[in-house]
Structure 1
Amino acid sequence: MRLGFLAFRNMVSKPLNLLLSLLLLVLSVFLVTFVLQLSKQLSGKLDKNIAPFDMVVGAKGSPLQLVLSSVLHIDVPTGNIKLEEAEFLTKNPMVGSAIPISYGDNYKGYRILGTTHEYLDKYGATLLEGEMYSKSFEVVVGSSAAQKLELKLGDTFTSSHGLAASGVEAHEDHPYVVKGLLNPTGTVVDRLLISNLESVWEAHEHGEEHAEEHEEEHEHDHEDEHDHEGDHDHDEAHDHDGHDDHDHEDGHDHEHGEEHEHDHDHEDEHAGEEHHHEDREVTSFLVKFKNPMAMVQLPRFINENTNMQAALPGFEVQHLLGLLGSGIKTINGIALAILLVSGLSIFISLLKTIRERRQELALLRIYGLGTVQLLWVVFLEGLFLTITGFFLGWLLGRIGIWITSFITEASYGYNLQLTGFDATELAFLGVALLITLVATLLASISIFNLNISKTLSDA
């Protein structure tokens, strides 16, 4: 304890040297722990979210964008595909499951996803309370979305067109009702509002009809303005002609209606059925393979023989992490270089301390301290410095993760966890201690050659 106190007093006696060595060590440890935790947690979350699916089939475009939008829900879709054209996936013997999903609307920035109950089963999502949706415009809400939006069972809300919170076009004629709240899953389901496919289709069909009606009203208003530009006589003639034309059209329409009313109703019904089977669109299909051969054959077949695109989530995420990995390796290299500079700083600081206190060390030898004990004092000084710097750097790294979690959750819905020491960080601590030990031994060589009488006489 006496040697430890002496080492501590020696360490704090040179505050500027202490501050420089600490800053270098803290910066190095901060960079390593922050980057390692960030990459580890992001990689774990990405792997967990893509695990239920082997392939995504959607519109032509960037395969990475397709995976990010359809599986991870952090990008905009590449487009829509015809439901009828993609339904062959559900009948393919190499496919275990093919789940359609459809996008289009959001509520306060949280995406409304149209899909089947099987999608929730793939992520192991279970109900906390309420029941699953069974009709159009019924939703179940993920745990994170329910908490942030303060939604409860029976609440209603209207969606906004688009996937961004800035969407202003609300589907007020089709409010959604909350039928169920989901338990936390730690996946993308937690930040989604999930309904059936018909909800997305019906909402957008209504939006298209509203746009057409608005366009017709605009054209009608324009025609009225044009009619009032002529003189009164022209208006009378126009009205008379319009009356004759109207009578003629009424007669024709009445006759046509009597002759073809039944056929017209039949055609409407048939057109409605065709609309359901031919004109329905989805954002993508999420596919789980039945056997490994499908991964080799199906993506190539789809990409070469259809107007759709197949992307493999595992491959695209690994490619993304590979790009991030290059940056991570660079940052880790910089951190290691800073750590070596920190070790050099500790070495210089200890060497300077030993040379300035040669008389004190000589007196300690006279009072009975051996060479090993003097070495221990110097090593304890370096040890205190290393442990203090490592702990402060580790703590700063965790604060960085905490701040980053707010940013990633607000932008992408991904929150990061604060964890304790892991094996990699403990290994890095071991490297830091080893560098400190080497620096201490190098700086303490002069202790072995300490001439007590000459040192005291020079004083």
Structure 2
Amino acid sequence: MLSILLLILSVSLAIFIIQIKKQLYQHLDSNSKHFDMVIGAKGSPLQLVLSSILHLDNPTGNIYLEEAIEVAKNPMVKDVIPISYGDNYNGYRILGASHKYLNKYDASLRNGQLYKKSLEVVIGSNVYENNNLQVGSTFASSHGLVKNGIEIHKEKPFVVTGVLKPTGSIVDHLIITNLESIWQLHEHEDEHQHENDHPEEEHEGKREITSLLVAFRNPMGAIQMSRFVNEKTTMQAALPKFEIERLMSFLGLGFKTINGISIAILLVALLSIFVNVIKTVRERKQELALLRTYGVSIFKLMQLVFLESMILALIGVVFGWILGRTGIWFFSIFSEGTYGYHFVFSAPSGKELYMLVLILLTTFPAAILASLSLLKLNVSKILADA
């Protein structure tokens, strides 16, 4: 039982890490692949990507819409989408963006219609399932990006005009409205700041956004413009693909460490199975010797011991895979509530099947060596001693 438990533990750890790494990368890639660059306030480029595309962090600050659009006026630029946020409802971010943002993620309506004017919103499928909201519902947003009731905009409630179908992307966890809604929520404080800093300028020309999402016609455009933005402007340009690869490399060290632990446990488990099978042969030598006297061939006895070893390994592999998948399910509950990412209970991947077959193949020679100990079985002596 100890050998099997060790094997189950090692297999489940390996399966868990393989799936978490694979599905996490798929989530990050599917949410960021629509944009080649993010322009935002100076700060950490990784933070800018996490906050503006993956919605997992706080923004680096605000930038002026007019200045960002002017920088993005380049023949190599295919599309730009200004976004702005800063409020939430029950922990779900309220994002200001045009309908083009929804089109990027192939988001379509389950019911209702898209927002047409200020303070109208559409809600993602996860928001719909976890809140008492439907088409026609109204709600007041809270200032900030985390669930709180400190500053609630009761005087400017939102109305839900549509519910989106599940997309499997970050859109499922967002409340989306137009940019004017975000500006309207904060226009009093923005106007006050603007009057103090630039009383002579028109307010309309100083609209602020959180960031600008940019798509290019070719990859070279992103490289050239990012250098220009970072060196020649007060803003910052970050490349999502590069930052996500960097993030995965950071996480990769942790994945490798846990994988190393699971491999060490696996080796101990396989050695334990090998030792225990040999020990079992010795403890059951009288029964085996008695079977020999009834005409059972040595080959049949070896086959019996061999199959016993392989069955132990197979039990460990199967239950290890089930435990690893169960771990994915529990982790998904945590990650979906905290980060909005859902991990699925999927069929075995190619890497998993390769690993499971490799474990069985590793058990194969150990089982043969254990069964070979039967060749030293002295039937007459064993029965005489009995």
TM-score (norm 2): 0.95
Pick closer, same or farther for the CA change 1:174–1:207 going to 2, 3 Å.
farther
The structural deviation recorded for 1:293 is 1.7
Letter aligned with residue 425 of structure 1: E
Counterpart pick for 2:211 among 284, 309, 312: 284
Residue 275 (structure 1) aligned with residue 203 (structure 2):
yes
Q: Given that residues 309 and 363 in structure 2 are in contact (C-alpha distance below 8 angstroms), is that contact kept between their aligned partners in structure 1? A: yes
Letter aligned with residue 108 of structure 2: T
1:91 counterpart SS class: coil
* Alignment size in residue pairs: 382
Q: Larger radius of gyration, structure 1 or 2?
A: 1
Q: Given that residues 191 and 203 in structure 2 are in contact (C-alpha distance below 8 angstroms), is that contact kept between their aligned partners in structure 1? A: no
Residue 51 (structure 1) aligned with residue 33 (structure 2):
yes
Partner of 1:60: 42
Letter aligned with residue 63 of structure 1: P
Counterpart pick for 1:140 among 116, 122, 134: 122
Per-residue CA deviation, residues 221-249 of structure 1 (Å, 9 max, x unaligned), is xxxxxxxxxxxxxxxxxxxxxxxxxxxxx
Q: Given that residues 402 and 418 in structure 1 are in contact (C-alpha distance below 8 angstroms), is that contact kept between their aligned partners in structure 2? A: yes
Partner of 1:81: 63
Pick closer, same or farther for the CA change 1:347–1:428 going to 2, 3 Å.
same
1:444 counterpart SS class: helix
Residue 104 (structure 1) aligned with residue 86 (structure 2):
yes
Letter aligned with residue 196 of structure 1: N
Q: Given that residues 89 and 95 in structure 1 are in contact (C-alpha distance below 8 angstroms), is that contact kept between their aligned partners in structure 2? A: no
Deviates more, 1:441-450 or 1:168-177: 441-450
Residues 335-414 of structure 1 aligned to structure 2 (within 5 Å): 335-414=262-341
**Higher helix content, 1 or 2:** 1
Letter aligned with residue 34 of structure 1: F
Per-residue CA deviation, residues 420-443 of structure 1 (Å, 9 max, x unaligned), is 322222222212212222221222
Partner of 1:438: 365
The structural deviation recorded for 1:209 is 7.0
What stretches of structure 1 move > 3 A for 4+ residues in a row?
Answer: 206-212
2:186 counterpart SS class: helix
Per-residue CA deviation, residues 258-286 of structure 1 (Å, 9 max, x unaligned), is xxxxxxxxxx9x96xx2112x11000000
Counterpart pick for 2:150 among 168, 189, 193: 168
1: CA distance, partners of 2:235 / 2:149: 28
Letter aligned with residue 25 of structure 1: L
Partner of 1:423: 350
Per-residue CA deviation, residues 32-85 of structure 1 (Å, 9 max, x unaligned), is 011111111111111100011011000000011000000000110000001111
1:52 counterpart SS class: coil
2:215 counterpart SS class: strand
Residues 288-327 of structure 1 aligned to structure 2 (within 5 Å): 288-327=215-254
Letter aligned with residue 375 of structure 2: F
Per-residue CA deviation, residues 188-209 of structure 1 (Å, 9 max, x unaligned), is 1111111111111111013567
1: CA distance, partners of 2:172 / 2:313: 42
1:402 counterpart SS class: helix
Letter aligned with residue 153 of structure 1: V
Partner of 2:97: 115
1: CA distance, partners of 2:142 / 2:191: 16
Letter aligned with residue 312 of structure 1: L
Partner of 1:93: 75
The structural deviation recorded for 1:91 is 2.2
Counterpart pick for 2:52 among 70, 74, 98: 70
Letter aligned with residue 354 of structure 1: V
Q: Given that residues 310 and 367 in structure 2 are in contact (C-alpha distance below 8 angstroms), is that contact kept between their aligned partners in structure 1? A: no
Counterpart pick for 2:3 among 12, 21, 39: 21
Residue 204 (structure 1) aligned with residue 186 (structure 2):
yes
Letter aligned with residue 289 of structure 2: A
Q: Given that residues 171 and 207 in structure 1 are in contact (C-alpha distance below 8 angstroms), is that contact kept between their aligned partners in structure 2? A: no
2: CA distance, partners of 1:429 / 1:131: 49
1:33 counterpart SS class: helix
TM-score (norm 1): 0.80
2: CA distance, partners of 1:194 / 1:434: 53
Q: Given that residues 138 and 157 in structure 2 are in contact (C-alpha distance below 8 angstroms), is that contact kept between their aligned partners in structure 1? A: yes
Partner of 2:159: 177
Q: Given that residues 90 and 97 in structure 1 are in contact (C-alpha distance below 8 angstroms), is that contact kept between their aligned partners in structure 2? A: no
Q: Given that residues 306 and 370 in structure 2 are in contact (C-alpha distance below 8 angstroms), is that contact kept between their aligned partners in structure 1? A: no
Letter aligned with residue 275 of structure 1: H
Letter aligned with residue 24 of structure 1: L
Consecutive unaligned residues of structure 2, counting only runs of 5 or more, are none
Consecutive unaligned residues of structure 1, counting only runs of 5 or more, are 1-18, 213-267
